[in-house]
Structure 1
């Protein structure tokens, strides 16, 4: 290789090194800025509650979900019901609280409930 080509190659590798170095400095500066911005934003937030300020379980214990079967409301007349005509919370509590199950061999909510297969 001639001396001029060696100088160009050396200059190219030096320029590449400078570009990588400047890029690294920029990335580092952006990360430092982001951390400082996060600290500034966190200082403006209200303080976290102390352990004695945390919510406590009621004396009766945890609240559990209640499941019950309800009787449907009877629809009187043939007029269409609008939302304000509906009574809240469904019908009365059903005397039979067993959960309805699908029949064996039925397909649940899909298809005709036939035996399936091909």
Structure 2
């Protein structure tokens, strides 16, 4: 073993000092994060008191309404006219359906793509 390799293999006080400095820096970053978080939390509005919480409506709980809806009709382009672009179509709304029967899939079909049924043939 040469003297140069012996000097490199010898323990150095500089390495342990650097590890100590890195440890102190990590602790300082964590403490700064907690300090900054507490300052942000102090600026937030306080939590609502029990009397400020939402209350049930006077008529009791609201229940869901079941209804069938059908889409508005898509505008028909005149013969020989240019097709409409998506920007010329409005936001397609729905309206209540006159029929109260729930739509059902055909027999033997699950109604989903690749559901294994023969579909509407």
- TM class by shorter chain equals 0.5 to 0.7
Shift of 1:36: 0.8
TM-score normalised to the size of structure 1?
A: 0.63
Q: 1:37-52 counterparts in 2 under 5 A?
A: 37-52=36-51
* Structure 2: segments with no counterpart, 5+ residues: 79-83
3-state SS of paired residue (1:66): coil
TM-score normalised to the size of structure 2?
A: 0.61
Q: 2:60 matched to 1:55?
A: no
State which of 79, 83, 89 in structure 1 corresponds to 2:90.
83
Structure (1 or 2) with the greater strand fraction: 2
Number of residue pairs matched by the alignment: 109
Equivalent residue, structure 1, for 2:98: 94
CA distance in 2, matches of 1:10, 1:76: 84
3-state SS of paired residue (2:95): coil
Shift of 1:32: 0.7
CA distance in 2, matches of 1:40, 1:107: 57
Shift of 1:27: 0.8
* Structure 1: segments with no counterpart, 5+ residues: none
Structure (1 or 2) with the greater helix fraction: 1
